[in-house]
Amino acid sequence: MKVKFFLFLLYFLIIGIKVIGAFPVSPPSYFVDYVPGYVYKSEFRVSNTDPEDLSVIVYDEGELNNSFKFSQTSLVIKQGDKKTVNFEFTVPVIEKPGVHTEYITIKQSALNNAAGSGTGLSAIVAIALPVYIRVPYPGKYLVADLEVTDVALNQLVNLSLILTSLGYEDLYGVYGKADIYDVKGSFVDSVDFPAVNVFTGKGAFVNNASWDSTGKSMGIYNTNVTVYYDTKTVELSKSFRIGDEFIKIINISGNYMKSGQINLFNVEIESMWNKEIPEVYTQLDILNNENKQFKSDKVIIGPWENRVLPIYVDASALDTGEFEGKVTLFYLNKTDTKDVKIIIKKTGFELNTQTILIIVVIILVLFNLWYFLKRNRIRKK
């Protein structure tokens, strides 16, 4: 009885809940430099893409929430409309250095359906916009990040250092050195970044360098960068690829097939190119068996993508036995081929390990039943 009641309650909740999609809010975040007492003014927009009016409330959350003022803290947005909320943030005194995060929360009102727009329950949606406040560290302090581009053969590899001064003092003569290694860990080459000045409160500065990959082979490379500033260093690491307009077959499965039915034959491929390649497909030729051909659909392969291309093989008109097969990959007027053994077996009863085990269990059950009945007859006599 309890189970029936629980199922009934669950069914009621499922049909009663009306899920409302997350409403778009922009921009996604804010960055504020630390200037105590400074009043930061900005705005955000809330859009309603739902088929009903949207009611939301606005508030802030975090350790600095007493520093925010909003032009309105509750609003109703008509279907297909959007509204703008202005806010002011007075930067307080913050003792701990680093990046502090405060959140502006836009939350769907629990009374969203109070106007009779529906009778069910509503799922409450809330979106938080982060406000990042960067408090400088004492003295000199550098935060660095590294970006490296994937390239084709013989192209320049672009390396970018993203440098931000988070200390009270500006940084002069910041430079870096990148050591490049192949996938086996062998040293390949080094690149120097020029010396630059990075000023506090001016945001990120990008320091660029490049490496000529002419003559290097395809594959994955690792870049280890040391950034030097004042008497300190920052260590960074990032991998990148050198590729070519080349796709290869890396695995084949499904070559054991059954006659009289459609079988799934999978060809796994991998792109070694840093751009999309259109109209890629594979073909299976089963030789000496009606010389049948089966093809996959044509697809677009993304940069460096690994994907399985399925081929559906109709074996209803094929003979059983073992045959030579050839898999061909077609792309950009190029091909890659693999030989494969195709084994086609008759459908029907197969005496495998699982089948034998089931038969043994059935025999044992029947034997025990026979033995039990026989003993009962003897006792009755």
Question: Helices marked H in 248-381 — which ranges?
Answer: 353-380
Chain segment 142-181, per-residue pLDDT in tens = 999 999 999 989 999 999 999 999 898 999 999 999 999 9
Alpha-carbon distance of 18 to 355, in angstroms, equals 49
Chain segment 287-302, per-residue pLDDT in tens = 887 678 999 999 999 9
| pLDDT tier at 111, thresholds 50, 70, 90 | low
| pLDDT tier at 73, thresholds 50, 70, 90 | very high
Q: Please give the pLDDT value at position 57.
A: 93
Alpha-carbon distance of 76 to 50, in angstroms, equals 13
Q: Name every residue whose Cβ is closer than 8 Å to that of residue 5 and which is 6 or more positions away in sequence.
A: none
Mean pLDDT, residues 122-134 taken together: 82
For the chain, domains (ranges, CATH) are 19-135 (2.60.40.10), 142-243 (2.60.40.10), 247-345 (2.60.40.10)
Q: Please give the pLDDT value at position 112.
A: 53
State yes or no: pLDDT of 228 exceeds 70. Answer: yes
252, 269 contact by CB (below 8 A)? no
Q: Please give the pLDDT value at position 16.
A: 36
Q: Is 173 exposed, middle or buried (0-12, 13-18, 19+ CB in 10 A)?
A: exposed
Residue 5: beta bridge partners?
none
| pLDDT tier at 350, thresholds 50, 70, 90 | low
Q: Please give the pLDDT value at position 17.
A: 36
Alpha-carbon distance of 294 to 311, in angstroms, equals 7
pTM of the model: 0.60
Residue 191 or residue 379, greater confidence: 191
Place of tokens 């000199």: 140
Q: Tokens for 359, please give them.
A: 């038969």
What phi and psi values does residue 170 have, to the nearest 5 degrees?
Answer: -70, 160
Alpha-carbon distance of 260 to 268, in angstroms, equals 25
Alpha-carbon distance of 86 to 58, in angstroms, equals 11
Residue 65 or residue 132, greater confidence: 132
Phi/psi region, residue 62 (left: phi>0; alpha: psi -120 to 50; beta: rest), is: left
Residue 68 is which amino acid? F
